[in-house]
Structure 1
Amino acid sequence: MTCILTSVKELHIISNGKMPIEQLREIVMDIHPYVTAIHLREKQKTARELFQAVELLSAANLPLSKVIINDRADVALVTKAGGVQLAFHSLDAAIIKENFPQLRVGSSIHSYEEGQQAKENGTDYVLYGHVFPSQSKPGMTPKGLNELTRLTQLAIPVIAIGGITPENTGQVLHAGAKGIAVMSGVLEALDPLSAVKAYLNVLKNGDGYNGRII
């Protein structure tokens, strides 16, 4: 297989639902210039609490265009966030795109077939995983690079998630991913800013590929 890396890939940071928003804000203040998107994946929070969380992040100078709200299109709209990340139980992407075209819409998927459906529904990108063993998915078999490679043939941007480290980021890029999504690798790092820069270095340079044909 050959691969040419011609552009900087995307780096999405996913909140873990356990960290106080005030702590997340402190990390975001440092890292937001270096990332594509900050996902608020706060399943236990009410719409009001999510709204307040976005206000807190906005007050810390996080551009709202970088904020992605998990599941709640209503909160994304009223806060003027950049987009919404849809799960299997969410409204279909086609409905969101038809009624709220200003939102960037991502779909979380776990199979090639779900990727096909997301593409047909007009999803802007898919979040696919978990690619590698992940501490957030203990005991669950990872999807692996072969399935990721197959999925990237659908001609829809694929953001890979699950157990991704700076050391294995080059592998998912080589498989055709448009970018990566990280949770604990940044938010639980001793130095989140240094962790982000380590990921970004690989995303820019291709971990040795550097735009060369492999």
Structure 2
Amino acid sequence: MRVITLNESSKEEVRTLRKLLEWPGIYVHIRKPLITEVAFGRYLSQFSEADRPRLITHQHYAIALDNGVAHMHLPAHARAGLPAASPGVYASTSTHGWDEFNQLGTAFRSAFIGPVFPSISKPGYGTHQQLAFTGRTNFAMQAIALGGISAENIGALSGAHFDDVALCGAIWQARDPLQEAARCYQLLQVNHRSSKHDIQ
């Protein structure tokens, strides 16, 4: 399960993320478009060296690498700027339809794809252009479902077309972010077990 940060930083956010990183299979996407390089370095310093391999940064890639964060996420318009592949560096990107996703090359290990439901954190986004749940032909990388995912609808995403999910608004707009994350996490584990059973 992927968790996307808020645009703004806070001590409470970092405390929540550190708790989430104690759970197996949790990855944190640091998406803070306005953060300065200095503030970004300070932000990363709040995570232990053990946590950093499961952080994925959307900005300041050189600083991230210097701080042990080797996972980088590039938006669609920045894919041409993908740094040369090197051992241990992981790259992901964002897509908005199966045609775009299916055409991605092997430089990327995973990609967001969505919106699968109307956005929670961006009201109105995804209302008229929701992604079809079928159409995937590229299985060389992970497909990460994104957009409007919560405990109420996460069960609809089981099956072969999505490998994982990314959450933002469902967690940060909940009264208790950790409790909402736990609900989604548990349901996702059930979905994965059911999918494996169906395949067998």
Which TM-score tier does this pair reach, normalised by the shorter chain? 0.7 to 0.9
**Which structure has the higher relative contact order (CA within 8 Å, separation 6+)?**
1
Distance verdict in 2 for CA 1:21–1:82, change over 3 Å: farther
SS in 1 for 2:153: helix
After the TM superposition, which of the residue ranges 73-82 and 124-133 deviates more from structure 2? 73-82
Counterpart in the other structure of 2:73: 85
Are positions 1:154 and 2:143 aligned together?
no
Q: Aligned partners of 2:126, 2:185: CA distance in 1, in Å?
A: 27
Task: Return the match for 1:164 from 136, 149, 156.
Answer: 149
Deviations 1:45-104 (A, max 9, x none): 12221111111233xx761111110033212211111401110232437x43x3433221
Distance 1:83 1:191 in 2: 28
In structure 1, runs of 5+ residues without a counterpart are 1-10
Amino acid at match of 1:100: S
Q: Is the 8 A contact 1:149 1:175 kept in 2?
A: no
Q: CA deviation at 1:183?
A: 0.7
Compute the displacement of 1:149 (Å).
2.4
Deviations 1:95-151, CA, capped at 9 Å, x for gaps: 43x343322111111122321342x152000011111011333333454352x4213
CA distance in 2, matches of 1:22, 1:75: 21
Q: Among residues 40, 43, 46, which one is paired with 2:33 in the alignment?
A: 43
Distance in 2 separating the partners of 1:127 and 1:208: 22
Aligned equivalents of 1:115, 1:38: Cα separation in 2: 21
Partners of 2:97 and 2:131 within 8 A in 1:
no
Structure 2 residue aligned with 1:124, among 82, 102, 109?
109
What amino acid does structure 1 have at the position aligned with 2:69?
A
Aligned to 1:69: 57
Aligned partners of 2:18, 2:73: CA distance in 1, in Å? Answer: 22
3-state DSSP class of the match of 1:158? strand
Query: Could you state the TM-score of these two structures normalised by the residue count of structure 2?
Result: 0.85
1:106 aligned to 2:106? Answer: no
CA distance in 1, matches of 2:167, 2:126: 18
Q: Quick one: which of 168, 177, 180 aligns to 1:195?
A: 180
Calculate the aligned-residue CA RMSD, in Å: 2.4
Q: Report the structure, 1 or 2, having the larger helix content.
A: 1
Number of aligned residue pairs: give it: 196
1:183 to 2:172 alignment? no
SS class of match (1:138): coil
1:62–1:198: structure 2 CA closer, same or farther, 3 Å change rule? farther
- Counterpart CA distance in 1 for 2:161 and 2:194 is 13
